[in-house]
Amino acid sequence: MCFRKKVCFSVGVGVLLVGISGCSIGGSGGELSDVTAPDTSEKVAISSENSQKVLALTVGGISRIPLTIPDIPDFNFAELFAASLVDYECEEGGKIELDDIDSSGGWVTFKNCKQKGVTINGEADVSVEGSRYSVVMDHVHIQDNRGEAMLDRVYLNRNGNDFTANFVSASINYDGYSAVLANYEVSRTGTTMQINGNLKSSCLGGWIGIHTNTPIYVVQNSCPDAGSLTVVGSGSSSMDIAFNTDGSLSTSVNGTLDRSYGSCHEVDTLIQSCR
């Protein structure tokens, strides 16, 4: 089985990147079909009039959405499981309750657990094998001084610094960025990322679908300088986003060049317009 036991926890936002996937250590990813993707009729039509909002929702999530995932290795679950502890007092208050555990995993409950300024409440099923972690989160609430996230169903898989995270159903309001996610998967291998899935924001009035054409190259604290995405709306409407080697990016709407931006930081100024 992918996930042997269940874990409940409270953890904060703004921590290191962690991976999520329906296919955990030695498991299968069948659970990823839990939520049906938004129907075409629920998607918004993409045009030059709303292209900046679409861009803000798409690119703004690249850096912010992964930050809403708790840094599972920070809790040293491997050591907690090996020691067969029943309770663990979190560094800044709250606790983690562990039940039905062994050295490879357990059922964990985070109750207002606060570490590194992040507070988490919720449930998760954790499996550990060396540096590899697999987690299923159910109705996990995460909060820190930059915002909060509700992870209704998220699958994590992390191996060292590489990860895959599938937000089957989630909503975030973090660092000025607000979005609802459905079957939104982000994966990172080395310095490249891929994003595929669905986002919605009240400013658009509907869903958009995102597909990675070529992996996005990202170095920490810098703008992407390679890669491309296609954003799909209702009907045949779409927007292509290209990240260039100098850190700039350009957009094309329905096959026609739309706008160019000197860097991803210019897109950050658009985020407040799409919340």
pLDDT per residue as tens digits for the range 182-239: 999 999 999 999 999 999 998 888 999 999 999 999 877 678 999 999 999 999 999 9
pLDDT digits (tens, 9 = 90+) for 120-138: 998 888 888 877 888 888 8
Residue 80, pLDDT > 70, answer no
pLDDT digits (tens, 9 = 90+) for 108-123: 888 999 988 999 998 8
Per-residue pLDDT, 275? 64
Alpha-carbon separation of residue 153 from 56, 125, 141 (angstroms): 24, 11, 11
Per-residue pLDDT, 25? 32
Residues 6+ apart with CB under 8 A from 139: 122, 123, 150, 151, 152
pLDDT digits (tens, 9 = 90+) for 50-78: 999 999 999 988 888 887 776 655 566 66
Q: Across residues 14-42, what is the average pLDDT?
A: 45
| Residue in this structure with the two tokens 């869903």, named with its chain if needed | 207
Per-residue pLDDT, 71? 64
0.85 cut: is pTM over it?
Answer: no
* Chain length of the chain: 275
